[in-house]
Structure 1
C-alpha cells in the first residue's frame, strides 16, 4: 500500500499565499456555484457562503427559480442567476466567465438536469469541482468521464466513491482502484472520510485535521464551496484540494470546545473559517 503524504500545517504553509494588501475584488477571483433544487436550496446556500468566505472576490450562484429569494436574502454578497425551470436546473447557460466552477450540491437527478450537465461538460473549459448529485449522474453515465478537463476535482463521500470506482474489500484495494481511476481520466479525487484522502495519479495525500463533528448534513457542500473559491483565486487544483480539506477539518477542531460533537453543524464550518485562515497567516 502506498504511504500517503500527510497534509500538515507545514505542508499547507508552503503553498498558501497570503492576500496581497493592494488586491481588489476584480483580481481575487470569480467563482460560480451551480447548485440546488426544490427542497435542497440549502445546499446552494452553504456552498455559496463557504465560497465567498474563503477569499474569492466574486461569487455567482446558478440555481432554479425557486431559490432566488432565498439566496438573495440569505447571502446578499452573492450574485444570483436562475435557470428557466422553477424547481430544478433545466439548462446551464450564463454569460459570466468565472475562474472556477463548483457543481452538484443539491441539484437532484431530473432527466433535464442530467441533460444540462452533459451539455455543460461537452463545452466547459473552466477549472471544475464536481460533488454530490453531479457525481451520482456521472456514475450512471461513465462515458462522460472522457469529457472532464484535466485535473477536474471530484469530492465523493464513501458511497459516491463506490458508485464511481466500484466496491472494494480493503483499504489497499480502494487505493488501487482510486489511483487507476485518477490516472485513467486525469482527475483528482477527494475521498471524504476519516481521514479525508486525496488521490492525484500515483500520489495519495492524507489530511491531518478534522474530527467526527464533520459527519453532519451539508459538510460536503461547504467543502465544495471552499475548494471552488481557492481554485478561482489561482491555486493549482491539487493545491486547492489540499488547502480546502485542511481548512475544512481545522474549523471542526477549533469549534469543538464550544459546540461539542453533537451540536456542530455545517454552518459552524463557515463560521470558523476566519480563525482557520488566521492560523495560516
Structure 2
C-alpha cells in the first residue's frame, strides 16, 4: 500500500536532532563534495558552503586543479583536495574517513570524468548524494546503478529525471516510473519541482515549503550540500532528504519579505539556513 505524506513541520520535527552540548567537529561528521570543472567552480562552492551550514563538522571539496584558489578563498572553513588534471576531474581518489559524499555539481561530462566516476563508484561504500552531471553520467551508463550504495539519494530536476527514467505523458505516469526506478535500485529519489517530491520504496513525500524564488541558478547545488551535510551527521538518507528539502524551501519563504521573488539567489538559501533551523530549535 503506497503512502502519500506531506512534509510539514510536524513531519520534520520528529526527525530533527539538535546538536549535543558536548559535540565537537569530530562527531559532527566529515563530508566530501566532489565536482567542478573550468568555468563551473561556483557549483562546488555553493554545495560545500551549504554542507557546512547544515551542521557538518568537517567539509572537504574534491575538485580539478583550476578551482583550488577559487574554493579556498570563497570558503576558508573547508579543506580542498585537487585532482592532478587542471580543467576537469580524471580521478576521484582520497584517503579520508568520511560519513557522506555529494557528487556531480559542475563536474562536466568529459569522457575521462565518466571513467573517474566509474572507478570511484566501484570502490565507494560511503553514503552518497548524486546531482547534476553525476546524474547525467549515470543516465549514459545505467548499468552503473548497481554500483550505488543502498539508499543513495538522487536529486534530479525534470530534464535530468527524463534522461534517467525516460519520458512520460502525465504526472501520474512520471510518478509510477520514479517509484519503479526507486524500488529497482533501492535509491531515494528527490524530484525537484513545485512541489518537490521524495520517493522511497512505497512512500511518496510531498514538500510544503518554498516558492518560485527557488527557480534560480545554483539552487539545486545548495540542496545537495544540505542533504549531504545532514547524512554526514548520521541522519538516515530518507530523513536527511525530507529535512533537507523542507529547510531548503523554508529559506525562500523566510527570505521573501526581504528579497521578493526576483532578487533571491542560491547564496540567499545558505544565508537563511540559520533562521530555518531556528524554527526547530525552539
Pairing of 1:199-210 with structure 2 (within 5 A): 199-210=199-210
Q: What TM-score comes out, normalization by structure 2 length? A: 0.98
What displacement does 1:4 show? 2.3
Q: Give me the CA root mean square deviation.
A: 1.0
The one-character-per-residue Cα deviations of 1:190-233 (angstroms, maximum 9, x if unpaired) are: 00000000000121000000000000000000000000000000
Q: Retained in 1: the 8 A contact 2:157–2:192?
A: yes
- Counterparts of 2:231 and 2:122 in 1: how far apart (Å)? 21
Aligned to 1:166: 166
Instruction: Count matched residues.
Output: 281
SS at match of 2:193: coil
Aligned position for 2:192: 192
CA offsets per residue over residues 83-138 of structure 1, 9 Å max, x none? 00001011000111110000000000011100000011111100000000000000
Partner Cα distance (2:239, 2:3) in 1? 19
Name structure 1 gaps, 5 residues minimum.
none
User: Residue 239 of structure 1 corresponds to which residue in structure 2?
Assistant: 239
Query: How far off its partner does 1:2 sit?
Result: 5.5
Alpha-carbon distance between aligned partners in 1 of 2:172 and 2:94, rounded to the nearest angstrom:
43
CA contact (8 A) 2:88 2:107 kept: yes
CA distance in 1, matches of 2:227, 2:3: 24
Match of 2:28 in 1: 28
Q: Within 2, Cα distance between the matches of 1:95 and 1:142? A: 27
Task: Give distance in 1, aligned partners of 2:230 and 2:103.
Answer: 15
**Whole-angstrom CA distance in 1 between matches of 2:206 and 2:142:** 27
Matched, 1:71 2:71: yes
Q: Give me the whole-angstrom Cα distance separating, in 1, the residues matched to 2:37 and 2:236.
A: 30
2:140 maps to: 140
For 1:114, what is the secondary structure of its paired residue?
helix
Counterpart residue number, 1:62: 62
The answer as to whether partners of 2:179 and 2:200 remain within 8 angstroms in 1 is yes
Q: Where do 5+ consecutive residues of structure 2 fail to align?
A: none
What is the correspondence of 1:108-187 to structure 2 with a 5 Å cutoff? 108-187=108-187
Local SS of the residue matching 1:222: helix
Q: Which runs of 4+ in 1 moved over 3 A?
A: none
Aligned counterpart, 2:81: 81
